[in-house]
Amino acid sequence: MAQQMTPKMASLETTDDGNEDNRQQPKIYAKNSMDRFGDDLYGLILSYLSLEDRFRCECVSKQFQRTVFESVVDITLSDTFINKILKIKGQLLTRIVIKFTNIKTIDCRIISEKYKKRVPEVLQIFRDNCRHLREIYCNLRENSSQTMSSLLPLITRIGNLCKEFWISGPIINGIDPNSESQSLIHCHRLSHLNINSLSHVFHNTSGQILVNNLTIFELSHYRDKDKELLSAFVAHNQSLKSLTFRTSTKSQETLNEMSVQLSRLPQLRDLRLGFELYSNELSVNETLLTIGLNCKQLQRLTLMSLSCSDYSMQLTLDSLGSYRRLKRLQLQYINIDINADPFKHCQRLTHLELILTPKIAKVLENCHQNCSRLQYLYIYYTEDMIESNRHTYQIDTECLSHISRLPALQMLVFQCYGSTRFNDNDLNAVLSSSPKLKTIEIRLNNRKKLFSK
Amino acid sequence: MADNADHIDGDDNEDVRAQQNLIKIKLKSSEGGIYECGLTAAKMSDLVKNMVESLGTDAVVTTEPIILGNEAVTDAALKKIIEWVEFHWDDPPVDHDFEDEKDRRNEELSHWDKQFIDVDDQALLFDVIAAANYMDIKGLVEVGAKHICSKIRGKSCQEVREMLKITNDFTAEEEDAIHKENAWIYAKD
């Protein structure tokens, strides 16, 4: 075509890696050609490709081929990948696995029931061919102590740790109920663990504790009877930095005892607590106060009421005064006491997430004075509520005006099901009057809409 | 008070950073253009940061501009880079106690970054990436890399070559052999 532009020339050289084919290349490349990059940058760029894309595009060019697998440091195995790789026969499979020369970590925690039996053999092939392999993230299954015996010392993470805090634990169990506890004792380097019941980390006959020095731990169900197990667990895992706990209880004593145990974790930085309280008499205010006074490193706190049918867990946020370093707070289904100027003790907060918080306009009223460092605000609400309460969850223009006064706010996210009581103009007004706000994201019925300056 | 909350973790740093960004320094492109940039923003470049630290802030502010000699640092690329650091310098800092390197790598680009990096002129896009790499702005190299990888996603070899103007230096036989070896990736259940 006559209109075609002559490419601008650049004399950027690729790094000479001594490869003969490379040396014969002219050292001038078009500026709009990816050929201009040296191997280091080329590989860095390709390091964000999926496994499928890497194999499909391997023969784009020689430079592509020699950099595309070098940059793979960790991989996550999926059902489809396992299914495909297991159909490969003999030598070819080894040739493919050898391509991952620099692989350090393999994550296979999302493999479903259907393929879990095949996981050990796939891991063994990687183990035999990738000499840099150091860490395996994997769940423990029946017979793990036999099928995975040489792999167990490499396991550092068991069970999926969700970034989001859900009402129930993860769907895929970290440890199968009928897997033998012996497997766990061979995972010397285990640092992340997610399990359903505390009894899984104790030997089923001797009662000996099987895990030490964990960093991140998530427990789906803490029960009244787990008191002594928790005490032993805490004593052996003083290194815990992040803890997720869901507890259902009928007794205040359980809550108090739990807070005493958690208070013995000096390194704790991130705590997520879910409460299912079987009586309106129970209160978690004291529990929170004790933890805050003792775990002085806590920076992130998530509180959730698990008995969410009536959204009745009343909470004054006064106890947060004892959390001196608290930066991120998430409240789910919590009915915040609005009479006591709720965020008066939260001057250091940078992130606040409110999920189904009643009387939201009142809650946010003095936020701009109390939370002068707040950078990120997330609010989740829905119209699909008990009819009489519905309006109290809604974001209205009054709410927006409170929000636009937050002095440090950079990012505002509303997630909502139903309809909104504000329009695009209202949001643009928030953007222009708010001093630091960069982006508003609206996730309305799963459709994303963005507003930025 | 030993445990005075206001002095924990030095997060009054944020105010210092904001103040420092009011100080403007000059950056000079390889084409000779001189552009102003806030000090805190400019220090997102490890190259600039090291220069400022070895020369001293006062020297940098009062004297000659910092010269960015690499050919990729064109006027247009430098303007884009300054736009990016001026937007991102006050991002919440990465907290290594919580954020996993792996999580961050898998995270999708923000809306702003997507719009920022989606430039029609591929020569400029590559200049920005190469310049960011030279200036050692890791966050921006990552934005460029994720953008390119999102464009490669699902495409055939030939489509990738055409899009990124990559010269195919394989013979037909070599290409065929690699294709055969990787045929398993296309297998249906």
A205 vs B43 pLDDT, higher one? B43
Kindly state whether residue B31 falls inside one of the protein's structural domains.
yes
DSSP state of A376: E
pLDDT digits (tens, 9 = 90+) for A344-396: 888 889 999 999 888 888 889 888 999 999 999 999 988 755 555 555 677 88
- Inform me whether the pLDDT recorded for A17 exceeds 60: no
- Inform me whether the pLDDT recorded for A336 exceeds 90: no
Domain count, chain B: 2
β-strand partners of A412? A377, A440
- Inform me whether the pLDDT recorded for B6 exceeds 80: no
Tokens of B166: 């990559």
Average pLDDT of the segment spanning B161-188 = 91
Kindly state whether residue B47 falls inside one of the protein's structural domains.
yes
B22 with B73, same domain: the answer is yes
Chain A hits for B156, CB-CB cut-off 8 Å, are 56
> Rounded to whole angstroms, how far apart are CA atoms B113 and B132?
14
pLDDT in the model for residue A156: 94
Average pLDDT of the segment spanning B87-95 = 86
Domain ranges of chain A: 9-67, 73-137, 337-453
pLDDT in the model for residue A311: 53
Identify the H or E element spanning A41. helix A39-46
Kindly state whether residue B1 falls inside one of the protein's structural domains.
no
B159 with B76, same domain: the answer is no
- Inform me whether the pLDDT recorded for A16 exceeds 80: no
Strands (E), chain B: 24-28, 34-38, 66-67
pLDDT in the model for residue B21: 92
At A82, is the secondary structure helix, strand, or coil? helix
pLDDT in the model for residue A8: 47
B159 with B75, same domain: the answer is no
B110 with B162, same domain: the answer is no
pLDDT in the model for residue A27: 66
- Inform me whether the pLDDT recorded for A11 exceeds 50: no
Residues 156-185 of B with CB under 8 A from A: 156-157, 160-161, 164-170, 174-175, 178-179, 181-182, 184-185
Stretch among A56-60, A179-183, B63-67, B180-184 having the lowest mean pLDDT: A179-183
pLDDT digits (tens, 9 = 90+) for A390-445: 556 778 888 999 999 999 999 999 998 877 888 899 999 999 999 999 999 999 88
pLDDT band per the 50, 70, 90 thresholds, residue A314: confident
Q: Which of these, B185, B149, B138, lies nearest to A42 by C-alpha position?
A: B149
Which residue range forms the structural domain that includes residue B159? 153-183
Query: Is the Cβ–Cβ distance between A226 and A201 less than 8 Å?
Result: no
DSSP state of A263: T
B30 with B70, same domain: the answer is yes
pLDDT digits (tens, 9 = 90+) for A257-289: 999 999 999 999 999 999 888 877 788 888 999
B128 with B174, same domain: the answer is no
pLDDT in the model for residue A66: 93
Please give the C-alpha separations between residue A3 and each of A6, A31, B54, B159, B181, in angstroms, as whole numbers: 9, 18, 49, 22, 40
B31 with B118, same domain: the answer is yes
pLDDT in the model for residue A310: 56
Please give the C-alpha separations between residue A229 and each of A203, A244, A409, in angstroms, as whole numbers: 11, 16, 43
pLDDT in the model for residue B5: 44
CATH of residue B79: 3.30.710.10
Residues 59-118 of B with CB under 8 A from A: 71-72, 87, 90-92, 95, 97-98, 102-103, 105, 110-112
CA dihedral B2, B3, B5, B6 (to 10 degrees): 10
B85 with B177, same domain: the answer is no
The answer for A317, left when phi > 0, alpha when psi is -120 to 50, beta otherwise, is: alpha
Residues 13-42 of B with CB under 8 A from A: 14
- Inform me whether the pLDDT recorded for A81 exceeds 80: yes
Query: Is the Cβ–Cβ distance between A317 and A347 less than 8 Å?
Result: no
B57 with B70, same domain: the answer is yes
Stretch among A2-16, A97-111, A326-340 having the lowest mean pLDDT: A2-16
- Inform me whether the pLDDT recorded for A69 exceeds 80: yes
B24 with B107, same domain: the answer is yes
Average pLDDT, chain B: 88
pLDDT in the model for residue A15: 44
> Rounded to whole angstroms, how far apart are CA atoms A38 and A16?
8
pLDDT digits (tens, 9 = 90+) for A91-135: 888 888 889 989 999 999 989 888 888 899 899 999 999 999 999
Please give the C-alpha separations between residue A79 and each of A99, A122, A364, B49, in angstroms, as whole numbers: 21, 12, 45, 45
pLDDT digits (tens, 9 = 90+) for A218-260: 998 898 888 899 999 999 999 999 999 999 888 888 899 999 9
pLDDT digits (tens, 9 = 90+) for A143-197: 888 888 889 999 999 988 777 777 777 777 788 777 777 788 899 999 999 998 8
B176 with B135, same domain: the answer is no
Kindly state whether residue B188 falls inside one of the protein's structural domains.
no
Stretch among A275-284, B65-74, B136-145 having the lowest mean pLDDT: A275-284
A309 vs A142 pLDDT, higher one? A142
Q: Are B178 and A95 a contacting pair at CB < 8 A?
A: no
pLDDT in the model for residue B105: 84
Q: Are A61 and B72 a contacting pair at CB < 8 A?
A: no
Q: List helix spans (H) across A295-412.
A: 360-364, 367-370, 390-393, 397-404
Kindly state whether residue B96 falls inside one of the protein's structural domains.
no
B21 with B61, same domain: the answer is yes
Q: Report ipTM for this prediction.
A: 0.92
Nearest to A48 among B126, B146, B157 (CB): B146
What is the residue type of A379?
I
> Rounded to whole angstroms, how far apart are CA atoms B119 and A381?
36
